[in-house]
Chains A and B, each alone.
Chain A
Amino acid sequence: MKEADFRDNDTLELFKHSGGNILFTTIDAIMDWGRANSLWPLTFATSCCAIEMMAAAAPRHDFSRFGMEVYRASPRQADMIVVAGTIVNKMAPVLKRLYDQMPDPKYVIAMGACAVSGGPFFYNSYHVVRGVDHIIPVDVYVPGCPVRPEALLYGVMQLQRKIKLETLTNPRKTENLQ
C-alpha cells in the first residue's frame, strides 16, 4: 500500500514522525501551525445543521478557541467550507461553484447526515444529492442529525490534525472530481 492510500490521521502521523525532509521541517511546522489555527469558514449553510453550527460559534461552545471565529461571507476569503445541511440537485452547481472560487488550500467538512449520505432524505426522494462527496472532495465527515456542536468541534480538530500533516515536499493535492 502506498503512503497516499492511508486516509486516517493516526497512520499519517506515524509516517510523519518516522521520517520527514530535514531541510524543511521547521518551515513545515510553522506553516502547518499557522494554517491549522486560522481556519476561516465560509458562511454557507442550507438547513438544520446551520443552527448547530451557529451554536458552535456561540458563547457556550465557542469555535474561536480553535481559530475559526472569522466567518467569511465571500468564498474568496475562506479556507474551509462546512457543508451544513442537505444539498439538493438545484443547489449542487452552486455549491460546486463556491468550492471552485475558494483559494487553495481549501478544506471541506461534511456536517450532518444529509451532507454525508443524504440522511433522512435518502429514501423515496427525487431531489436530494446523496452525499456531498458526489460534488466536492470531503476531508472530514461529521455524522449526526443534527450534529451536536461538540461533534463539530471534534471534526474541526480532526481537520486540524490532518492539516498539520502537510509538508512542503508533500503538499495537499486537490482532487478534481468531474
Chain B
Amino acid sequence: MKEVINPPVRNIEDEEYHINIGPQHPSTHGVLRMVVSIQGETVKSLKPHCGYIHRGIEKMCEKDTYQQIIHLTDRMDYLSAHINNHVVCLLVERALEVAVPERVQYIRTIVDELTRIASHQLWWGCFGMDMGGQTCLLYGMRDREKIMDIFEESFGSRLLHSYYTPGGLMGDIHPNFQKRVKEFITYFRKKIHDYDNILTGNVIMQERTKGVGILTKEEAIDYGVTGPIGRASGFSCDVRKYHPYGVYDKVDFKEILGTQGDTFSRYMMRMHEMRESMKILEQLIDNIPAGDYSAKMKAVIKLPAGEYYQRVEAARGELGVYVVSDGNKTPYRMKFRSSSFSNLSALDHMSRGFKIADLIAIGGSLDYVIPDIDR
C-alpha cells in the first residue's frame, strides 16, 4: 500500500514573488527594467537593471574633440540639454583659463534656468500622469511649448540645441528673446497657480504621496542623492550656491530645503524650484550686458595634460564631468557623474515596505531620465 504523504502547506502570503517592471513600461519613463521582489502587494526589494539604452557616450567622447563632445552631452539628459553643454564648456574654459564675456555668462544662466523650468514642467505632467491624471500632462506640455518657442527662435531647434560652445555661444540671442522671456514669466506665474490648484491641493494625490518613500538626510548623503530629491530630505546640496558658476553668485535666490523627505516633499521642492527659477530670470533678463557672444578660441582645443573636474546643478541634481587629458585634442578619459544614476540607487531603499502603486509614485517623484543613467 502506498503511503499517503501530505504535501507541505504552502502559504502564498509568505512567499516572495518576483515581477519585472519594464523595459517597456509607461511609468518607467523610458527603458528602465526593475526586478521587484514582492510579498502580496508589498515591495520587499528592488533591483534596477540598467543598460537598455547604454549608448557608450563616454567611450565615444574619447574619439571626439571638445567641440564635438558638446553634441553628445545634449543626448544624455535631454531634458536639461543646455545644462549638460554648460558643464563641458565650463570645464574647457577653466582648464584653458579663458575669460568668458559677461554677456555669455548672463545668457547661459538665463537659458539654464529656462531649461530647468521646462524640465520641471514636463516632470509635473509625467508625475500627474503616473498618478492617474492625464490633464496634468496636457497642461505641463502646453506651458512647456512656450519655452520651446523661445528656444526655437534664438537657437534654431526645439529640444537639443548644442547652443553653448567652449568659450561662448554659437550665436547671439534673437532680438525678441528678452521680450519673450518676460512674457513667459507673466504667463507662467498665473499658470503655476493652476498647477497647485489641480494637483498640489488634490486630496487623493496628497494621500498617495505623504509619508511614502521616505529618505532621511543621512541616507540621502550616503547614497549621493542630490538635486530636488536631496533637498527634499534636508540635504543642502545646491551647486549653484556652493560652487557658483555663470552669474549665480550675483543673483538672489533661496535654496529651499524640505524636512520630510517623502514623495510629497520632493514634489513641493520642484514646484518651489520653478518659482525660484522665475525669480532668477526676472533679476537677469533686463540686465544682459552688451558685448561679444563668444571669447576668442583656437580652432583646435587642446587641454593641458592633467585631471579636471567640473560640476553644475542640472535639473535633477549635481552633474559632474571628470576628464583626464594627455594633452591631445581629444580627452584620454571622460566620465560623467550623472544625477539620475545616484538618485536611482536610492529607489530600492525608498520603496521597501510600500505598495506597488506607491513604487510608481516614488519613481515619478525621482524624475529619472534613463539615457542619463545608462549614458
Contact = CB atoms under 8 A, between A and B. Distances in A.
B47 to A, nearest CB: 16
Given A86-B55, A120-B72, A126-B59, A94 B24 contact: yes
B273 to A, nearest CB: 20
B335 interface: no
Given A46-B31, A148-B158, A124 B63 contact: yes
B224 interface: no
Given A98-B24, A121-B60, A146-B160, A88 B141 contact: no
A98 B24 CA distance: 9
B54 interface: yes
A82 B25 CA distance: 14
Most buried by B among A50, A71, A73, A148: A50
A45 interface: yes
Contact of B59 (A43, A45, A86, A125): A125
A85 B76 CA distance: 12
Contact of A121 (B23, B56, B138, B370): B56
Contact of B159 (A46, A48, A75, A126): A48
B49 to A, nearest CB: 9
A47 interface: yes
Interface string A104-142: 000000000000000011011111100000000000000
Given A51-B122, A52-B158, A120-B71, A46 B56 contact: no
Contacts of A30: none
B123 to A, nearest CB: 12
A44 interface: yes
Contacts of A148: 158
B149 to A, nearest CB: 9
B327 interface: no
A88 B60 contact: no
B297 to A, nearest CB: 23
The bracket for how many chain A residues form the interface is 35 or more
Contacts of B122: 51, 54
Interface in B137-180: 137-138, 141-142, 144-145, 148, 158-160
Given A58-B138, A125-B56, A52 B145 contact: no
Interface residues of B, number: 34
B53 A47 contact: yes
B75 A120 contact: yes
B60 A125 contact: yes
B51 A47 contact: no
A45 B59 CA distance: 24
A88 B55 contact: yes
A88 B54 contact: yes
B159 A60 contact: no
A55 B145 contact: yes
A121 B72 CA distance: 9
Given A55-B141, A58-B137, A45 B160 contact: no
A58 B60 contact: no
A78 B30 CA distance: 18
A52 B24 CA distance: 18
A168 interface: no
A91 B49 CA distance: 12
A30 B125 CA distance: 37
Interface string A36-62: 000000111111101110110111100
Nearest to A89: B54
Contacts of A88: 51-55
Given A59-B141, A121-B56, A124-B60, A47 B78 contact: yes
B23 A91 contact: yes
A137 to B, nearest CB: 19
Contacts of A121: 55-56, 60
A43 B130 CA distance: 13
A87 to B, nearest CB: 9
B371 interface: yes
Contacts of B59: 124-126
A141 to B, nearest CB: 19
A47 B54 contact: no
29 contacts: A45-B30, A46-B31, A46-B52, A46-B371, A47-B75, A48-B159, A48-B160, A55-B148, A57-B141, A58-B138, A58-B142, A59-B138, A71-B26, A73-B25, A86-B53, A86-B371, A88-B51, A88-B52, A90-B51, A91-B23, A91-B52, A94-B24, A124-B60, A126-B56, A126-B59, A127-B54, A128-B56, A146-B158, A146-B159
Interface of B: 23-26, 30-31, 51-56, 59-60, 63-64, 71-72, 75, 78-79, 122, 137-138, 141-142, 144-145, 148, 158-160, 370-371
Please provide the 6 A-B residue pairs with the shortest distance between their CB atoms, ordered closest to farther.
A58-B141, A48-B78, A124-B63, A43-B26, A60-B145, A47-B371
